[in-house]
Amino acid sequence: MPLGYSCMGSYDHSSQATVLRPLQPLSTRLSTFVLWGSLVGLAFFSIYPTTNWLTGLGSRHYSLFFEEELRLPFVPEFIWLYLSMYVLFILPPFLLNPGELKRLAKELILATCISGIAFLILPAQLGFSRSLPAEDLYRGIFQSLFSVDQPFNLVPSLHVVYSTSISLALIARANTFVRRLLSVWLVLIVSSTVLVHQHHLLDVITGVALALLMRLFLEKKID
């Protein structure tokens, strides 16, 4: 048997095989996804907008970036990669079993709570100046983005946390080709957060670290 994960197969690592259970019926996975996805949404929409509003009221914001970062180019075309995170959101029920979906949801909820505390303790200031692109299409997209996302909830980047957590969960079930595809996609999404001037490098690093910590913290046998 070749090395690597398979959605219906097994994974062989250092001569120790970890067998993955076959996928349960899609209806079961979808019902679990809807229930736990709703809880993730409840956590996000309760915490993120509230902390953004609270940090926006304060007068003290930290500049948690290096001056050299401000030289990074603004690439409006990368907004498509930035927004592609939302495509990741719909993939878990097609690749993960109910136990894996629950674990992923718990990772996201816990990470959101921790991030909310970090936002309040370290209200950050975006170093990039928010300017609208000249092209009408991108101008409209960024105008909408800026109107709903104030530049204070930066460290860690929840965009990076969510993208990394979902990608890691999917990679654990993927074959070699899909695993590589997801890895490249994740790198592009993470890079886009900086190249569309929504986040700084520290936001990205802490976002990836938090996702990894949640994965390790909630690591257990999945039914």
CA gap 102, 45 in Å, rounded: 19
Mean pLDDT computed over 17-25: 74
C-alpha to C-alpha distance for 131 and 135, rounded to whole angstroms: 12
Looking at residue 85, its amino acid is M
Separation CA 112–CA 183 (nearest Å): 22
Percent of the chain with pLDDT over 70: 90
78-119 pLDDT per residue, tens: 999 999 999 999 999 999 999 999 999 999 999 999 999 999
Q: How far apart are CA 103 and CA 62, in angstroms?
A: 33
Q: Band the pLDDT of 59: cuts 50, 70, 90.
A: confident
* Confidence at residue 170, expressed as pLDDT on a 0 to 100 scale: 97
When the pLDDT of each residue in the chain is averaged and rounded to a whole number, the result is 89
* pLDDT in the model for residue 5: 39
The identity of residue 133, as a single letter, is P
Domain range summary for the chain, segments of one domain joined by +: 28-217
Average pLDDT over residues 51-78: 92
Q: What is the pTM of this model?
A: 0.88
3 state DSSP class of 16: strand
Confidence at residue 220, expressed as pLDDT on a 0 to 100 scale: 63
Q: Is the pLDDT of residue 15 over 80?
A: no
Residue 43 has pLDDT above 60, yes or no: yes
Q: Kindly state the percentage of the chain with pLDDT values over 90.
A: 78
What are 13's strand-pairing partners?
16
Query: On the CB side of 103, how many CA atoms lie within 13 Å of its CA?
Result: 22
> Residue 191: is it exposed, middle or buried by C-beta count within 10 angstroms (0-12/13-18/19+)?
middle
Residue 1 has pLDDT above 90, yes or no: no
Report in angstroms the alpha-carbon separations of 113 from 11, 40, 44, 51, 206.
33, 10, 8, 11, 14
Residue 23's pLDDT band, with cuts at 50, 70 and 90, is: very high
CA separation for the pair 90, 92 (Å, rounded): 6
How much is the pLDDT for 19?
59
133-153 mean pLDDT = 90
